[in-house]
Structure 1
């Protein structure tokens, strides 16, 4: 159906396809030769230097750089060609701040070695497919706009297909028509070559069946832990209600009933009982509010993660520098998980670290929520020795999140937490900046 727009101006039209094929083909070649090839050479050298010790530090750094390039290729394949390449990497476990632990984590991931193989094979594949995608278009444009007048000026039949000088004016016209046809044909052909490259990348960069099985098993375990934690939380709420607010409300009811009986015979005692009942009702209301805050703080529902964390930071007995850049609201379960993870870490800081200052950095980018909590305390925090940090790991794992702790003796302690998530709505609270 004709929408009244010229063909070249339409989405996916000839001009757009020509430019896209040239730029994308060149980009794939540059990516392969400027990044893949040098990083592959560096990776091989760093692994060879492992027996000397220096490779233990260099190899993870280079392989993580290759991982970053692979993630860039995943984004390009999806944005340019609609080819989605899932991320197969194992999450970084807690306690990988040391070079040996980091070396084991990176090199122990099977996806690391597929990335390395892709870095090598992508060099010739990207060269061939990228040059074909861009070269067909460039050669067709050259035939349309350059070959014929260069041939006229130099008396040379420019190019293997443009035999201009053999046929005079007819040769020029034929060359332009043939070149225009080649340029038009290069749009679908070039797109097919580039999509073939994206499919090649997917064959090497996607999770294997074993990785998918491992991931399903991990998600099953984390979901089971989350169910257990939720059941324990419900039992705690029931216990708090039974031992706290419920007991006070029962006592309150008894005091009011007794005051009713005493009103006729001993008004003074009845008045005292009513005063006690009023005090008990205030205490019960306070306990209920505290219980509700422990389930889902009202400030979190009203102002989102940004406002809730800032309010939490202001309530602590030590100065907390909060730098938060979350330009929208998160889904409620993710928002709650992030808030309570930050709250638990700050509680640990106040109770155990002996810190004089703490800081919080929260930002959302690339579909991930990054939360960094640090302090200048005595250090020595170990997730394996504390149920609080283990609880945070379970809470984050339910959303496929990760936590890494760096806490050498003497400090500082830095906890990095990541949650994959998307923004669900624009931010309604105008808070920003530094507290």
Structure 2
């Protein structure tokens, strides 16, 4: 019993450490990505100040027409970066022509405010976070290479003592561990602080909401049509390659049997058995196709029981946490069922996982589903994983899909579907 408890504790601790490590690595990636927009923002900010100074002698007016495009360029890069890591911020397109038109545009004025904040505070936050991470790694590894440094320059940055022995170098490594702990604690907060001005200042104005809704509806309609066409092709292929061939075989066997009855009645019995077997096989394949259109288990037992059945049939042990107090629209339940079936099939065939978990919630008209496994990771659309088909089904219902699958795992699939009644 103690061994089981100890093993469970180790698994929980391993999960906590991996999740925290993933959060810290994501924060570091965000900080470095923020530097990729903060540095151009700082350069454009300096250029704006230089043009303003040159306007005093008349030269700046020759350079002023290019300023709106220069301001828009880093702002669009920041919109694209933030959209990759959270809610989408739509691009604004080309900047207004001319300085007067640009200054009259509220979007450009907000971009100028963002440029000032991100080119200064965002740059400082990004440099501080990246420097702290690099310094922590350098100090932790310092005992391995400090002897290669010149004797008069053997003390690293941020260290206030001179290094003359292995004990001093070990103290530097301990200091590096402290820096690493500080980075682990503050890195997510630094990433949020760096992204906050962009989230607030680069978001589209209120009058852009209607255009955004039209664009989303158009994308949803296209996704629904694509999903419908894909489903029709799947059904046609199943009928053509399976059921139709079986029925053709039945027809051929029945024709041969009729001719055999006229010549040799004894030889007709085996042909009738083959025709019956082919007809039964065709009927079974036809039932499979019908279940693929809308599984009867959804109508008979409900979505919760249907998903629990899929988890029980998964090729790896799958824990379930399902809380669906009501019913959803039939199309939503079918989508959730097929997405879960496809995802658990991927877990069984491709992940190399030892365990998986399925969590489903229905809250406030939103059906959320999370599937996680401890496999090798690296899942991506276009590699035979079925993620492209899953995404198409979900987008057809104006839903959201997020897949996190770093090399080495774990893989987490999260889905949200608006659940109409």
The normalised TM-score by structure 2 is: 0.51
By how many angstroms is 1:323 displaced?
1.5
- Partners of 2:343 and 2:397 lie apart in 1 by 18
By how many angstroms is 1:249 displaced?
1.0
By how many angstroms is 1:258 displaced?
2.2
Residue equivalent to 2:248:
250
Let me know the Cα RMSD of the aligned residues. 3.2
By how many angstroms is 1:228 displaced?
2.3
1:383 to 1:238, Cα distance in 2 relative to 1, 3 A: closer
- Partners of 1:299 and 1:355 lie apart in 2 by 27
By how many angstroms is 1:330 displaced?
0.7
Residue equivalent to 2:354:
356
- Partners of 1:339 and 1:272 lie apart in 2 by 42
By how many angstroms is 1:370 displaced?
0.7
- Partners of 2:367 and 2:316 lie apart in 1 by 25
SS of the equivalent of 1:329 reads: coil
Q: Map 1:160-179; keep pairs closer than 5 Å.
A: none
Q: Map 1:254-403; keep pairs closer than 5 Å.
A: 254-383=252-381, 385=383, 388-403=386-401
1:106 to 1:298, Cα distance in 2 relative to 1, 3 A: closer
By how many angstroms is 1:217 displaced?
1.0
User: Which portions of structure 1, spanning 4 or more consecutive aligned residues, are displaced by more than 3 angstroms?
Assistant: 52-56, 100-110, 383-387
Residue equivalent to 2:216:
218
SS of the equivalent of 1:290 reads: helix
Larger Rg: 1
| 1:192-230 residue CA offsets vs partner (Å, 9 max, x unmatched) | xxxxxxxxxxxxx99823122122112212211221231
Q: Map 1:25-424; keep pairs closer than 5 Å.
A: 53=31, 105-106=86-87, 108=89, 208-383=206-381, 385=383, 388-422=386-420, 424=421
1:213 to 1:109, Cα distance in 2 relative to 1, 3 A: closer
| 1:61-102 residue CA offsets vs partner (Å, 9 max, x unmatched) | xxxxxxxxxxxxxxxxxxxxxxxxxxxxxxxxxxxxxxx767
The question of whether the paired residues in 2 share the 8 Å contact of 1:219 and 1:398 is answered with no
Identify unmatched segments of 5+ residues in structure 1: 1-49, 57-99, 118-204, 425-435
By how many angstroms is 1:384 displaced?
6.1
Identify unmatched segments of 5+ residues in structure 2: 1-27, 35-80, 92-106, 111-202
- Partners of 2:82 and 2:382 lie apart in 1 by 15
SS of the equivalent of 2:320 reads: strand
The question of whether the paired residues in 1 share the 8 Å contact of 2:369 and 2:415 is answered with yes
The question of whether the paired residues in 2 share the 8 Å contact of 1:245 and 1:287 is answered with yes
1:318 to 1:109, Cα distance in 2 relative to 1, 3 A: same
SS of the equivalent of 2:372 reads: strand
The one of the two structures with greater contact order (alpha-carbon pairs below 8 A, sep at least 6) is 1
- Partners of 1:207 and 1:335 lie apart in 2 by 36
The normalised TM-score by structure 1 is: 0.50
SS of the equivalent of 1:316 reads: coil
